[in-house]
Amino acid sequence: MQQSLFSDTPFRDGKNKKDGQGELNPSQYEAVTSIKGPVLVIAGAGTGKTRTLVHRTAHLVQTGIPPENILLLTFTRKASMEMIRRASLLMDESCHRVAGGTFHAMANMLLRRFGHHLGFERNFTILDRPDAESIINLLKSSLDLSRTGKRFPSKRIIMDIFSKSVNKSMPIDELLEGQYGHLINFLDDLHLIQKHYGKFKLEHGLMDYDDLLVNWQRLLAESPEAREAISSRFTHVMVDEYQDTNLIQADIVRLIADRLNNIMVVGDDSQSIYSFRGADFRNIMDFPRTFPNAKLIKLEENYRSSQAILSVTNSIIEKAAEKYTKKLFSRIEGGVKPIIYAASNDTTQARYVIGKIQDLMDEGIPLTEIAVLFRSGFHSYKLEMELTNNRINFEKRGGMKLTESSHIKDVLSFLRILTNPKDNISWNRLLLMLDKVGPKTAEKVLENIKSADDPLEALLNYPAGKSWKQGFESLLKMLLSLREPGLTPVDLFDRVMEYYDPLFKKIFPDDYPRRSRDLEQLRVILAGYHDLRSFIDDTTLDPPENIGKSGDPLSNPTDRLVLSTIHSAKGLEWDAVFVIHLAEGKFPPARAFLSDQLEEERRLMYVAATRAKRRLFFTYPREVMSADFMSVNSAMSPFLSEIPPVLVNSPGIHSSRRPAIPREKTLFQKDKPKSAKPTPGQTSFCPGMRVRHPFFGEGSIQAVKGPKTVEIFFPRHGKKTLRTDYTKLEILE
């Protein structure tokens, strides 16, 4: 019935047959056409969530909503561009006027436009993580905190704390009590740094990622004028991946939609994987409370995966402690059972993957329809080497970003100062490049810029020390030359490189050839821009992946295997998916047992497995490299041993059974192993377990630190970290 209604609309997607379904199912249809009032869409993996958003965007435009009044908030810029592109295929070019992007990108745009209501400069610079951390370091030394015998927490940890505090809307006191208990002595110092950090950013026109969200929220909450302008501009708002929003983002959504209530959020609590960044899938559950007459729509038919794959993914998520039931079903019957493969080590794992990729290609699956996913960036190092040896092209997503390497940061510093002459962190970087200038000298010089109208002019009169006067003057002269009107971004880059190249070779004598390829890549990106500010903002908000060692960088980018962290694979799908490094202690990482992180790890495993359409492979090495370059035996991840054997094939391990791994290794269930002695090479310990040590007596396991290392608390002796292969531990019931 819906279909007949529907077939008159121009948003029938005849070309898009990839899900075997040219039109929308009743739930999708309802989500698409419910354009008034608040709507919550719970969309399981592969249920056509993106498709629904695409159609809805087209539908809104079709019903006469001006495209520029539509706001589509997504998790990545790529996702929103893709959706808008597809909507414009359904509807027409006007869809490109739809405002789309990440919360951070939208915040940036709005703060440049309306930020003056809160007293922000229009030309603020966005700090990425390394920038923010280097400010922390500057403050640490200027506040004279790095002294005193006690080891001060690193900039990394400090930023983690500050950022979590913002994203979880939790004061750092409370945060320290929980996750960072060991740092409680530094509470006062942290408060002090935090205060100065805020002041520093304000004085120098800087905003970190978190500030973008916070200040957008403040803009809506504190400036009636800005709020009116923004909420009347965006009359129809859609938010994708709502399970990965935090409280600030939820509040932004609330404030923006408050007036017309035309708000739709889409999410899946089972795929919430960003709690480390403050995301809380309870936002989904709270949505009906914030918007009392919200319509709830569930998308439950899976169009992506074969039933064989879906059975496995369902078994993974079934064990979740807390979930909101959706019953996913697929009409794609049968299919090939997923495979679990135990490789002897990292190298054989890589070779297995490559062998299978070649088989898949022989079966007619193109390279671009295959992906290899992993928990952490470094899990793919060996595979990257082997792929290069085998001349298979790949692109790696996740991990180190291009703009985070120091030579790129060096070059960007020159450009950033042009757009924001008060950008102290860039100035600092440039000054430190000069011979005979160190942290102290740089700090002294920079005291002169925060009050200056034109810092560059001010510095021209600065009495430089004899030993570095020359270098200082040529730096300023070069910066002045960049102000010449009419220069394109590429012109600027070339001028900067004229100055920087000799320094560059001096700073990186060992590997400047490799690094200079990054600079070339940067130049190519820059060539696509005519506005320097957009280039800088874009590369900070959506940093390009470091293409550094991805097979042959000159190869056709449309024919590449994707290697990706699971986080970066969110929302994507491939015909064949490999999930590698599913070894105990690696995925889930041992530290996940410490806190409440296990559930999130399970969802991560679920996200990984649900990316597959037709073929799914799980692999793990039986031997992993520990931190001290020792090879240690390792078992299968508990996530794998939990999967009912009948749902998978496990070659190399007795037909389809997997007796190699004792069932009690299922670390998530409360039943404990009965054996008193750990088998060599395997950990059968888990947190909470009671053990007896020949000397320390009875204790309880606090954490599993590695395959053979556990941390145990003994009431009479305190906390001990022990090697299970050296210590005879008796497990008590």
Write down the least CB distance from residue 531 to DNA, Å.
Answer: 19
Q: What's the Cα-to-Cα distance from 510 to each of 115, 505, 506, 515, 648, rounded to whole Å? A: 44, 9, 9, 10, 48
Closest CA to 259 of 288, 241, 285, 233: 233
439 touching DNA, by CB under 7 A: yes
Closest CA to 578 of 616, 547, 614: 616
| One residue of 283, 441, 619, 684 binding DNA per CB under 7 A | 441
Residue 274 contacts residue 309 (beta carbons within 8 Å): no
Residue 55 contacts residue 28 (beta carbons within 8 Å): yes
Nearer to DNA among residue 548 and residue 662 (C-beta): 548
151 touching DNA, by CB under 7 A: yes
247 touching DNA, by CB under 7 A: no
Map tokens 């890549």 to a residue.
521
568 touching DNA, by CB under 7 A: yes
* Stretch in the footprint of DNA (CB under 7 A) among 14-22, 422-430, 433-441, 658-666: 433-441
**Contact set for DNA, span 269-308 (CB under 7 A):** 273-274, 276-277
Nearer to DNA among residue 102 and residue 420 (C-beta): 102
Closest CA to 577 of 547, 545, 605, 546: 605
| One residue of 2, 21, 94, 137 binding DNA per CB under 7 A | 137
Write down the least CB distance from residue 27 to DNA, Å.
Answer: 29
Closest CA to 139 of 203, 86, 96: 203
**Residue count, binding to DNA (CB under 7 A):** 54
Nearest-5° angle of CA 650, CA 651, CA 655?
80
150 touching DNA, by CB under 7 A: no
Write down the least CB distance from residue 377 to DNA, Å.
Answer: 3
Neighbours of 260 (CB within 10 A): 16
Nearer to DNA among residue 297 and residue 445 (C-beta): 445
466 touching DNA, by CB under 7 A: no
Count of residues for the chain? 733
| One residue of 102, 249, 283, 305 binding DNA per CB under 7 A | 102
Fill in the DSSP letter of residue 484: S
Nearer to DNA among residue 362 and residue 511 (C-beta): 511
| One residue of 435, 457, 484, 730 binding DNA per CB under 7 A | 435
Nearer to DNA among residue 404 and residue 698 (C-beta): 404
Strand order of the sheet with strand 730-732? 718-723, 709-714, 697-706, 690-693, 730-732
Residues 6+ apart with CB under 8 A from 153: 161, 183, 186, 190
What binding mask, one character per residue, do residues 55-94 give for DNA by CB under 7 A, x or -? Answer: --------------------xx------------------
Nearer to DNA among residue 137 and residue 555 (C-beta): 137
* Stretch in the footprint of DNA (CB under 7 A) among 15-23, 249-257, 334-342, 435-443: 435-443
| Cis preceding linkage at 588, omega within 30 | yes
Nearer to DNA among residue 150 and residue 483 (C-beta): 150
398 touching DNA, by CB under 7 A: yes
Residue 582 contacts residue 639 (beta carbons within 8 Å): yes
**Contact set for DNA, span 608-637 (CB under 7 A):** 627
Token pair in block for residue 586: 């690696």
Residues 6+ apart with CB under 8 A from 55: 11, 13, 24, 28, 32, 87, 90
**Contact set for DNA, span 579-608 (CB under 7 A):** 589, 591-592, 597
Write down the least CB distance from residue 107 to DNA, Å.
Answer: 9
395 touching DNA, by CB under 7 A: no
| One residue of 34, 235, 315, 376 binding DNA per CB under 7 A | 376
> Using CA atoms, how far apart are residues 98 and 104, in angstroms rounded to an integer?
17
Token pair in block for residue 458: 């001010």
Residues near DNA, by CB under 7 A? 75-76, 102-105, 128-129, 133, 137, 140, 146, 151-152, 154-156, 163, 209-210, 273-274, 276-277, 375-378, 397-399, 401, 406, 432, 434-442, 541-543, 565, 567-568, 589, 591-592, 597, 627
